Amino acid sequence: MNPQARRWKCVCAYDGTDYSGWQSQVSGNAIQDLIEGALEETLGNPSRIHGSGRTDAGVHAKGQVFHFDASWKHGGESLRKALCTRLPQDIRVLDARVCPSSFHARISAKGKRYLYRAIEGSASPMEFRYWASLPVHRLDLDAMRMAATVLVGERDFSSFSASSGDSCDENPVKNLWQLDVRRTGKRLKIQVEGSGFLYKMVRSLCGALFDVGRGRLEVHQVKEILDAKKRTSLVVTAAPQGLCLEKVFYRKVKFRR
């Protein structure tokens, strides 16, 4: 690292509808690509950013975190504004501040919160980007909540990962702190918190709960799927547009704006 460079921690939000996910792609149409492009324009040289984790194509974020090293001489608010002027309106940097060189957006993370939104029926034209449509009249919320209790805790979530096997070094044991299902009218929200998540794990958990609510899966089957520690066709991945990364949790450290 350049001895004059400082480490910057940034929080960003984005509407993932028109992008191929967070992680850099050959197409250049990933959130990471757009932010790195804005950084290069701002700093005058390329800078690699490191995110707290990936979000899939179509998935949104309110609190994605990334870090990078740069010798920016001005304050964090000046950097935030400079980046926002170079980014499309559906990608916003919310906060930028100097952090300890030991901070790492992914490695230092202690947990994450996701929120999945769905509507029983069809989402309106004003909502379909952020709410998944469920072609049912009424889900069995009690059954969904019973299934959720089976999944909470420290478990091997291999059965709810869509990994193709190329990330075998990732520990499939995660601690799921919360899997809360709520309904308001025809709107359902599933709040998920945990120490970490496997590839497409949150969408797979939500897909399984929706199938329990539809009567396609029984609560005991969810436990059997979990205990099998192997992906099965019974687990359906929920649509991406309903999912949003709400917050990344870190231990308290001192940051400078």
* Residue 121 DSSP one-character state: B
The pairing of beta strand 60-70 with beta strand 173-184: unpaired
The H or E element spanning position 256 is none
Torsion of CA 121, 123, 128, 133, to 10 degrees: -10
How many CB atoms lie under 10 A from the CB of residue 59? 27
Residue position matching structure tokens 């794990």: 201
Q: Is 166 a catalytic residue?
A: no
Q: Please report the sign of the dihedral spanned by the C-alpha atoms of residue 217, residue 218, residue 219, residue 225.
A: negative
User: Closest by alpha carbon to 56, among 239, 188, 230, 256?
Assistant: 239
User: Pick the catalytic residue: 18, 56, 69, 142?
Assistant: 56
How many CB atoms lie under 10 A from the CB of residue 154? 12
What amino acid positions are annotated as catalytic residues?
Answer: 56
